[in-house]
Every structure is written in structure tokens, then in C-alpha cells.
Structure 1
Amino acid sequence: MLMLSIFVALVALICINVPIAVALAMAGVIGLLATEGVNSLAAIALDMYGGATKFSLIAIPMFVLAGAIMNAGGITDRLINFVSALIGFVRGGLAMVNIGVSLFFAEISGSAVADVAAMGSILIPQMKKRGYSGALSAAVTSSSASLAIIIPPSIPMILYAASANTSVEQLFVAGLVPGVLGAAGLMGVAYWFARRYNLPTEEAFNIPRVRATFIDALPAFALPVVILGGIFGGYVTATEAAGLAVIAALVVSAWYRKVDLKHLRQAMLDGGMQTAVVMLLVAASVLMGGFLTRAQIPQQLAEGILAITSAQWAILLILNVFFLVIGFFLHSAAAIILVVPIVIPLIQQAGIDPVHFGLVVTLNLAIGQQTPPVASVLITSCAVARANIWEVSKVNVYFVAVLLAVLMLCTYVPSVPLFLVEYFYR
């Protein structure tokens, strides 16, 4: 009864536009007061500080900063030129370029919203000029940006690893194959739309131009080598790779001698605010986590579901539906911080690999970013394209279907995403 009352209070606070972090902290304080009294509040400040200063979480602002430097330093433009020369000859090539560059940008920023803001402002106007509808332009940009929470380095994966006490490096490796499969599927849907609406090709395939743009973009390719090569080679942790990514982005930007300081300043301010929101959520979750742990709520949930079924496939199906619904209403960071600590005991008792489950969670939340009413990535893309969210959603449903197919594949054929983890770490 107490848990139900606190949950109702939490939902009510969120519904009246109280920030989620504040509502979460208030609900946690109420729970601690009700179960342990006033004395339980003595260490709240220290607990919140400790929760928000985990070493692994330092990677979040570093990757956000690396993405900002990359976009302000002329790196993004060179990537677009290279991908355009490589696949622009395909019908609907500009949509393919959008997806291809998002795939690369995801390896730097780890943030889908940052991807939309960076890519959308450049590519959406160009797509509209070339005959793409605003709805299709926004849908392609939004769905491809969600690769940022599947492809390493993924900020939601970092948060999951901190919440579930599992390896972020293994999560990063597990995200590679689903990310590439998702990109291929999105390109397939984009090609279908291009044939359907007779969208143009960009230019004939020209080997000298491909070579020239590749050489021009070659320094930019050092960024994923530094990040992924360092992590997969076991030379650095994910947090250390984030710091190296910032240094590499600065060096590459200096090489190109094109840094938009005004844009960089604004991107850093936006990234700082985004990081502050996430860290406040992490700190607030400590209070709720303390209450839930003492009240044995996660254990009770695990026992309740295991009493219904112990089959892994059924448990994964229940959790998939649960996270898809949660994704409609919560941002990915809030959903991970609020829900993952509750379901981890169930995962452990059911014998499900926490790395496998982490991938399932992040794929679910990638889909949640595309589904109203919250749909933070979709809303950002619609704002850039100046398109109606419901019109965009009608088109975007085909791209979301690709992400759902990748989710089902990774859920029930775990060897597909995990074979690289097995190769590198087990």
C-alpha cells in the first residue's frame, strides 16, 4: 500500500510538470520518512553526492563535449561530403547520407538529441530542397539519430552500466552489430520511399571524388579509432576513452583550422545543461533506490513474476512490453535510472545475461524516443524540419518497424549481438 501511494504521488508530481528528478527525490524522501523516520534523512546529501560522482559517469559530459567540438570544428561537413560521394548515386541518396553520417556521429557523441541538432540543421533543409517532404526528412533524421543510443559510445548504456553494476565496455561491444543492422534496415526503408516518390540521386559515382573526400575526411576517422580501438583493444576504459575523444576532437579541429567558437560555446552550454539534468536524475535516484532496497520492492517484483513464469523468453517479453510503454512517457535517462535497479534482481534470478538485457533496454528506449507523447528525438527533428509531429509519425512508423525488428532479433537471438563480446572478453 505504501509503495502504491508513493508511486501515485510520483506520477501526480510529474503530471503537474514537477521536474522528474525533483519528483523522484521527493518520493524517495517520503518513502524513507514513512519506513525509517526522520533519522534516515541525515545522510541524504552525502548519498546523493556519492551516487552522482561515480567514475564511469564522467564519460557522459566528455562524450557530449567531443560531439560539440566535432560539429563546431568542420568535421561534420567533411563526413557529409565523403558519405555523399560514396553513396549519393543511389536513388534517395541524401536520405542514405543522413543515415550514414548519423551512424558515424553516433560513435562520437553518444546522444541522439545531439545527433539531430547537428545533422538535422544541415541535412533537413537540403533534403527539402531536393524534393523530400518535411515529414520524410524529419522521420529519416529522427530514426537514424536513435542509432546514437545503440552504437558505442552510448550515454544510456553508460547509465545502465552504472545502475546495473555491469561492464560498460562489454555493452559498447554488444551495441555494434545491432547498430549496423539498424542502419542497413533504415537505408532499405529510405530506398523504398525514394522509389515510391521518385526521389533524385545526388550525383554519379566518381572514384576521384570519393578518393578526394576520403583523404579530406581521413583525420576525422581518427576519432572512432581512438574511442573504439582503445576500448576494444583493452588499452583504456570507457571513461578514459571519453577524455581521449575530447583531445582527439580538438586536435582534428585544429588540423582543419575551422572552429566556429560561437557555435562551440552554445553547444558546450547545451551539453552542460544536458549533463546537469542527467546527474541530478542520478543523484535523486539514490534516494528512491535506498527506499526500494530497504522495502524489498525489487525482490518482491522478481518473486511475483517468477511465480507466473520462469521461462526467459516470457520474462523478456514482459519486460520488453514494459519498457516500450515506459518509453512513451519517460526520457531514456529517467527510465533507466528509475526502473533498472528495480528489475535487476529479476534478471539475476532468471539467469539472463545483464549485458544482453542492457542491450534490450537501450533498444527499447531508442524506440521510445520515436513514439509520442514524450519522443524527445522526434520532437527535436520536427522542430528543425518545421513539420507536424503526427504527420511525421505516420511516415516514421516504417522506420520504427526496423528498430522493432532489430529489438526482437537481439532479444531472442542473443548470439547475434553478443558474439563480439564473447570474442573479446569471454
Structure 2
Amino acid sequence: MIVAVMFVALVALILLNVPIAISLGIVAMSAMIYSSGMDAMLNAALVLFNGATSFPLLAIPLFILAGAIMNSSSLSRRLIAFASALFGFVRGGLAMVNIGTSLFFAEISGSAVADVAAMGSILIPAMKKKGYPKEFAAAVTSSSATLAVIIPPSIPMILYAVMADASVVQIFVAGIVPGILGGGGMMGLAYWYARRYNYPVEEVFSLRRLKETFRDAAWAFLLPLIILGGIFGGWVTATEGAGLAVLAALFIGGVIYRELDVRHLYNSMMEGAIQTAVVMLLVATSALLGVYLTEQQIPQQLALWLSSITSDKYAVLAILNVFFLIIGLFLHSAAAIILVVPIVMPLVNAVGIDPVHFGLVVTLNLGIGQQTPPVASVLMTSCSIAKADMWAVTRVNLPFIGVLLAILMLVTYVPAVPMALVELFYR
């Protein structure tokens, strides 16, 4: 009964525009005081501190900072120029440039919102200028940015790994194939749109221009090699890889490209600090809720109840898919992971679902949530840049969401898709 009251109170506070992190803290502390009295508050500060000081979580501000630095160093412009030389000869090529650039930028920032902000501010105006409808431009930018939470490094994946006590590196590896499939599916859909509505060809293919743009962006291409090569090669942890990414971004932006001055560095650090503060406050306050739920054995009771209904792991995955898709409508991905994953992990373990496999299922579900109103943080950012109505963009975006749903079903019910590389290299 008290859990239902907590949930209603949490939803009510969120609807009143109380920040989610503060709402979590209020609900958790109120429940703890109700159950154990004021003595329960003696350890609250320690729980808040410990909740946000996990070593793997340090990767989050570092990846955010690396992405912000590289964006300040005209990385976006160089990547777009190369992608345009590569895909621009195809009808609707600028949409494919959008998707291809998102695939690459995802390997640096790990954040869909950062992807939209960096790529959308350049590509959406360019697409509108070329005659693409603004709704289509916003939809392509928004949906392709969601690939940033599937392709490593991914901030939601790091959060999930911490909450589920799973391997960050293995979850990163599991996201490679689904991310590539998602990018290919979106490119195919963009080409179909282009043929149907006669969208323009950007430029004639030129091997010389391809070489020139590749040379111009060559140092930028080293960044994901440093990050992913170091992590997957076992030379560094994900957190250490994030630190290397920051050093590489500073070197490439400041020494090689010479486009990173003190003002740009300051702005990058401020952007990273603000985004990090939002996530870490969520992590800290959710730790209070986690302590209370654990003491009350709520996750274990949920696992026992659902296990009594079915012990088939694919049936459980179907139930959890629906649950996370609904949660994604109302909560940001970080909040949903922090709030829900610790509750469902006992059930996941009880029915024999691999935590790494489940991490991809959760990540994809919440990535789709970034595209579905009313919250839809990534979609709203894209619509704001395009100056387009969110519901009009959503109608155009539905087929792209369909691609993400198809990848979700493939990942859920064909575990070899995400797990083949994990099994090959780590098990």
C-alpha cells in the first residue's frame, strides 16, 4: 500500500513541476520517516554521498566534457563535410548525412540530447534550405540521435551498469550491432522518403573531395578509436577511457585544430558541469529510495509475484518491455534507470535473463521514450531547433520510431544480435 502511495506522490510532485531528483528525495525521506521515525534520517547524508561516488559514474561527466570540447572545436562541421562527401550523391543524401554523422558523434558524446544540439543546429537549417520539410528534418535528427544511447560509449548504459552491477564494457560491446542495424534501417527509410517525395541530391560523388574531407576530419576520427580501442582492448576501464577522451579532445581541439580557446573551454566545462549535476543529483536521491525499497524487500516481493505468474524469461521480457515503454513516456532515461532498474533486477536474475542482454533492452526502450511525447526530451530539442510543432513532427517520426521498435524486438527475442560479440570476446 505504501509503495502505491509513494508512486502517486512522486507523479503528483512531477506534475507540479518539482524537479524529479527533488521529488525522489522528498518521497524517499517521507517514507523512511513514516516507517522508522526520524532516526532513519541519521544516515541520509551518507547514503546521498555514497550513491553518487561510484567510480564508474565518473565516466559520465568526462564523456559529457569530451563531447562538449569537440563540439567547440568544429568537429560537427568536419564530420558533416565528410558524411556529405560520402552520402551526398544519393537522393535524400542530406538526411543520410544526418544519420551517418549521428552514428559517429554518438561514439564521442554518449548523449542523445548533446547529439541533437550539436548536429541539429547545423543540419536542420541546411535541410530546410535545401527544401526538406522542417518536420522531416526534425524527425530525422531526433530519431537518429537516439542511436547515441545504443552505440558506445553511452551514458544510459553506464548508469544501467552501475544500478544493475553489470559490466560496462560488455554492455558497450553489446550495443555495437544493434546501433549499426538501427542506423542502416533509418538510412533505408530516409531513402524511401526521398524517392517518394523527390528530395534533392546534394552533390556529385567525387573521390577527391572524399579524400579532402577525410584528411580534414582525420584527427577527429582518432577520438572514438582512442575511447573504444582502449576500452575494448582491455587497456583501460570505461572511466579511464573517458579521461583519455578528455585529454585527446583537448589536444585535438587546442593543438591540432587550434580552435579551442579559453572561452570555448570555459563554456564546455560549464555545459558539462550542468549536465553532470542533473544526473548526479538524480543518482544521489535515488539511492535513498533504493535503501528504503531494499529494507522493505519490495524488489524481492515483485520478483516473487511475477515469477508466480510466469517463469518464462521471454514472457517476462515482454511484460518489462511494455512497462519500460510506458515509463519512458513520462520519465527521462536517467531517472527511469535509476528508479526502476534496482526494483526489477531480482526478477531479471530469477528468471535467468542475462543482465547485459537486459541492459540493451532497457536502453532501447528508454531511447524510444526520448521520441514519444509528453516528455520526449530529444524530440523537443529537435523541434525547438527546427521551429516545428511537436505533434506534426511526431507524425512524420512514427516510421523512424518503428525502426527503433523493430530493433528492440530483434534485440529482445534474438539475443545473439546484441550478445554475439560479447560471447566472442568476453565469455
TM-score grouping bracket, smaller chain normalisation: over 0.9
CA RMSD of aligned residues (A): 1.0
Larger displacement relative to structure 2 (88-97 or 71-80): 71-80
1:79-124 deviations in whole A, cap 9, x for unaligned?
A: 1111111111000000000000100000000010000000000110
Corresponding residue number in structure 2 for 1:413: 414
**Contact conserved, 1:367 with 1:403, CA < 8 A, in 2?**
yes
C-alpha change, 1:320 and 1:295, in structure 2 (3 Å) is same
Partners of 1:46 and 1:336 lie apart in 2 by: 22
Partners of 2:8 and 2:170 lie apart in 1 by: 36
**Any residues of structure 2 matched to 1:200-239 within 5 Å, and which?**
200-239=200-239
Partners of 2:260 and 2:91 lie apart in 1 by: 33
**Contact conserved, 1:74 with 1:259, CA < 8 A, in 2?**
no
Corresponding residue number in structure 2 for 1:91: 91
Corresponding residue number in structure 2 for 1:393: 394
Match of 1:109, as an amino acid? S
**Any residues of structure 2 matched to 1:12-27 within 5 Å, and which?**
12-27=12-27
**Any residues of structure 2 matched to 1:280-295 within 5 Å, and which?**
280-295=281-296
Partners of 1:262 and 1:309 lie apart in 2 by: 58
Corresponding residue number in structure 2 for 1:311: 312
- How far has the Cα of 1:268 moved from its partner? 3.0
- How far has the Cα of 1:197 moved from its partner? 1.1
Partners of 1:217 and 1:13 lie apart in 2 by: 47
**Contact conserved, 1:116 with 1:381, CA < 8 A, in 2?**
yes
How many residue pairs end up in the alignment? 426
Provide runs of 4+ in structure 1 moved above 4 Å: 260-264
- How far has the Cα of 1:267 moved from its partner? 3.8
SS for the counterpart of 1:42 is helix
Corresponding residue number in structure 2 for 1:177: 177
Match of 1:74, as an amino acid? S
Corresponding residue number in structure 1 for 2:278: 277
SS for the counterpart of 2:194 is helix
**Contact conserved, 1:330 with 1:374, CA < 8 A, in 2?**
yes
C-alpha change, 1:147 and 1:261, in structure 2 (3 Å) is farther
Partners of 1:180 and 1:51 lie apart in 2 by: 34
Match of 2:407, as an amino acid? V
- How far has the Cα of 1:390 moved from its partner? 0.6
Larger displacement relative to structure 2 (31-40 or 367-376): 31-40
Kindly indicate whether residue 347 of structure 2 is the aligned counterpart of residue 375 of structure 1. no
- How far has the Cα of 1:57 moved from its partner? 0.5
Kindly indicate whether residue 336 of structure 2 is the aligned counterpart of residue 335 of structure 1. yes
1:380-424 deviations in whole A, cap 9, x for unaligned?
A: 000000000011000000100000000000000011111111111
- How far has the Cα of 1:271 moved from its partner? 2.4
Corresponding residue number in structure 2 for 1:109: 109
Corresponding residue number in structure 2 for 1:135: 135
SS for the counterpart of 1:18 is coil
Corresponding residue number in structure 2 for 1:364: 365
**Contact conserved, 2:68 with 2:271, CA < 8 A, in 1?**
no
Match of 1:359, as an amino acid? L
Partners of 2:310 and 2:82 lie apart in 1 by: 51
Match of 2:274, as an amino acid? M
SS for the counterpart of 1:200 is coil
**Contact conserved, 2:48 with 2:288, CA < 8 A, in 1?**
yes
Partners of 1:282 and 1:61 lie apart in 2 by: 13
**Contact conserved, 1:116 with 1:145, CA < 8 A, in 2?**
yes
Larger displacement relative to structure 2 (128-137 or 211-220): 211-220
**Contact conserved, 2:110 with 2:154, CA < 8 A, in 1?**
yes
Partners of 1:195 and 1:303 lie apart in 2 by: 52
**Contact conserved, 1:382 with 1:392, CA < 8 A, in 2?**
yes
* TM-score with structure 2 setting the length: 0.98
Q: Give structure 1 stretches of 5+ with no counterpart.
A: none
Partners of 1:8 and 1:401 lie apart in 2 by: 31
Corresponding residue number in structure 2 for 1:424: 425
- How far has the Cα of 1:266 moved from its partner? 3.1
Partners of 1:141 and 1:267 lie apart in 2 by: 22
- How far has the Cα of 1:263 moved from its partner? 4.7
